[in-house]
Structure 1
Amino acid sequence: YGLTSQIRRSATSIPANIAEGYGRDNRGSYQQFLRIAQGSLKEFETHLQIAERIGLATHDQASQLLTSTEGIGKMLRQLIFKLAPE
């Protein structure tokens, strides 16, 4: 399956976009890259759910990772909110 490759790519895209945005010169760019990271996180979650459905991951494995992604998503949303102009 190409699914494992897509899982790896989406998983590595999350911190890469956070880092790239942090390295930009302004808040707006940082926020945009954080939103891209959010999209990659949702993509990762979807790939995990598919992996579980087709038997590439157990329910416990997928559940544990999805619990982690929930916390990461909350942190990203909070950071985006805090960077928003007042």
Structure 2
Amino acid sequence: MNKPHKKLKVWQLAVDFCIIIYNITENFPKNELYGLSMQMRRAVVSIPSNIAEGAARYSTKESAQFYNIARGSISELDTQIEIAFRLNYISEIDKNKLINLLNEIDRLLYGLWKKSSLI
């Protein structure tokens, strides 16, 4: 079954970003297993999940709502990346790479949201 979201570049990048975040949080201290690492994993999985749900909707208004939720998860993850950096769980170089990729996903998602919300 070929779903429409799988054709979206933003969805593909968001799934790739999930793998990156999962790999990075694997190296967090074990006491963060149910803390920051789990929060980051939930937020990052929410991004492609909501893109997929939005792409499956027939109403552009509904699609825009799910794309907007995904954008909220991007902001949440941006904050969590900053916290991880300040706790010295990730380097400044890794932080910058993550933020750059997150900004690219956000830029593409904003375009999709704008198209769906017809503004």
What TM-score, normalized by structure 2, do the two folds share?
0.69
Letter in 2 for 1:78: G
Determine if the alignment matches structure 1 residue 50 to structure 2 residue 83. Answer: yes
- The answer for the alignment partner of 1:17 in structure 2 is 50
Letter in 1 for 2:109: L
- 1:26 maps to which of 41, 59, 65: 59
- The answer for the alignment partner of 2:103 in structure 1 is 70
Return the offset for 1:64. 0.3
How many pairs align? 86
Return the offset for 1:75. 0.8
Aligned-pair identity in percent equals 35
RMSD in angstroms over aligned alpha carbons? 1.1
- The gaps in structure 2 that reach 5 residues or longer are 1-31
- The answer for the alignment partner of 1:81 in structure 2 is 114
Return the offset for 1:76. 1.1
1 CA distance for matches of 2:39 and 2:108?
23
Letter in 1 for 2:98: L
